[in-house]
Amino acid sequence: MLLKHALLPSWRPLAHQHLRTYSASAVYRRLKLAYDLHEPPKDAGPKNAPIVFIHGLFGSKKNNRSMTHLDIQDLRNHGDSPHDPRHDYTVLAEDVEGFIDEHKLENSTLIGHSMGAKTAMVVALRQRKPIANLISVDNAPIDAALKSDFAKYARGMRAIEDANVTKQSDADAILQSYEPTLATRQFLLTNLICASDGTRKFRIPIKYIANALDDMADFPFRDPDEVRFEKPTLFVRGTKSPYIADETLPIIGRFFPRFELADVDSGHWVISEKPAEFKRAVVEFLQDKQ
């Protein structure tokens, strides 16, 4: 999604057996991404550079509408964007680069959460588009096994489809066996739609996502001596989340030497758990870059 600056007044790292240089391979088939554009008020003053906001796994452009004046984007296999069997950070980054080209965006700030954070990092490190700033929300530029919750969510969503339920409440009842937290179940069920036969189906292709979970744990760059993003970068960390541990900070600093760290007292779902604190961290970072 795009945000206009006018609004401003337990994992374990996977062992690295060797350094793997990212390959600048040919561009794959880019998908045209769905998005919602929310312009700032006409009396908000001159427009500044846009912010491209990228959601996380199982998310969509619906999830962050509480962030005023956001322009919200769906990644492939999510929300209203097209589906494709390939789902890894190379093609996710190329889709975002295509979005930047399509909308002729210059000097954007990228904000990404979770899967979207790694996607944004890859776009920045590829250096194929004029990115001004980067904000990574609760993810780090490393190979790190995903929490087992994500595979569990995929199994629960498959169970809902297999049951051919016709009511949201029945879907929620099934999902309770896989996820006890109501807020998380509600988040996952935002992807549920009514099919033509009256049953509830997920708008995201569960099989594609389930097959891609290992790729979502990966990070395609291994050697920060070969590629860096030298522009201002903010890492927003949920202090109750395992995804940006203290031991990852040195590697973050090597890939992103101008990075700043903002801690928010939350779990992994930083934006929905603590929206005011998240917005404050973003605003302070971007105001300083004006």
How many helices (H) does the chain have, and how many strands (E)?
10, 10
Give CA–CA dist 108/245, Å, rounded.
28
114 among known catalytic residues? yes
Give CA–CA dist 91/103, Å, rounded.
18
Question: Would you put residue 52 in left (φ > 0), alpha (ψ -120 to 50) or beta?
Answer: beta
Give CA–CA dist 287/2, Å, rounded.
17
Pick the catalytic residue from 60, 81, 108, 114: 114
Nearest to 240 by CA among 217, 263, 222: 263
Q: Identity (one letter) of the amino acid at 211?
A: N
268 among known catalytic residues? yes
Task: Give every CB contact of residue 222 below 8 A, 6+ residues apart in sequence.
Answer: 16, 18, 19, 20, 21, 22
Question: Is residue 237 within 8 Å of residue 262, measured between CB atoms?
Answer: yes
Nearest to 112 by CA among 141, 85, 84: 141
Paired strand residues for 260: 234
Paired strand residues for 261: 235
Pick the catalytic residue from 5, 78, 113, 268: 268
CB atoms within 10 A of CB 5: 21
CB atoms within 10 A of CB 161: 17
158: part of which helix (H) or strand (E)? helix 149-163
The residues annotated with a catalytic role in the active site are: 114, 268
